[in-house]
Amino acid sequence: MSAFVLPKSTTVKVGTISHSLRPYLAHGIPENLVRIALPNQTNAPALNDTNGIYLGELMAYFAAATTFCHSTVEVYAKHEMILGEFVQSLQTIRGERPHMTGLEAVAQDIALPVVLEIELGEDCEVQADLHFEAADSSEKSWKHWRSVKLARAGGIPASWIKKFYFPRLLDYKDLGSIKNSRMQEQTIDTALMIGGVMQAWHKDSPADLLLAFRQQYGTINFSQSMHFDGLSVERFFNLTGLRDPATRILNQMTIWQDLDALAKKQKIELT
């Protein structure tokens, strides 16, 4: 296995969900971060790895997408009845917050996709992502695919995490118009995750995907971001889109619906 070193101060990204923010702030990212594949990728061992931490760029958005999908499926299975009533209420009175009991318990289980921006605090030897390259091609795995595995004792310290990105969060008043700019922004954020899914699924070039995304939307990150520190993390969880149980459920549903619809356009099944 050839050695390739990402030098100190290199910027990398890791995809996850919002439930991880407080633990990572307190303890850093654990040295073995389970990688989650899409259900139809169970025959791809490198996408179901349980060792190391996968560092990437667009592939961080794949990780955010798959972790979000896995979490969402679990939430829907656990709270199927009340979520069915919630959807029915939304369809009956569009644009108004459903007033129901039991939403707090559902919202506690809901996590939204986030991507962490990390600045390496030391030179780090990395391994190839075997989904894209052979074990002796770690340099190409980073330079072409922007995806490698870090096997570092102790994982990634919290002090290396500088920022976190997340999708635009909606409120019920945003549902009143199909052309609402905030809804469009959330859809664009979701499309970035689909770009990561396309890299993993079709093995499309991330440079080409990100160039096309930047040319169309002017960015290659989720539209919202905060510094990674205690105050910012608590401010994030106090945003209306997360603090209010019904609004947190709404955002999970709208992101999931966009993600599923965009994936199907690429002939990719998320469940």
Q: Which residues make beta-bridge pairs with 227?
A: 163
DSSP 179: T
* pTM listed for this prediction: 0.95
Domain ranges of the chain: 4-265
Rg (CA), the chain: 19
Tokens of 233: 């993390």
Tokens of 224: 């919202």
pLDDT at 198: 95
Place of tokens 């995490």: 161
Round the average pLDDT of the chain to a whole number and report it: 94
Encode pLDDT of 175-209 as tens digits.
877 778 999 999 999 999 999 999 999 999 999 99
Encode pLDDT of 85-118 as tens digits.
999 988 887 778 888 899 999 999 999 999 999 9
Strand runs labelled E in the chain:
4-6, 11-17, 53-56, 113-119, 124-128, 147-150, 161-166, 224-227
Distant-in-sequence, close-in-space partners of 248: CB < 8 Å, separation ≥ 6: 107, 110, 112, 241, 242
What is the length of the chain? 271
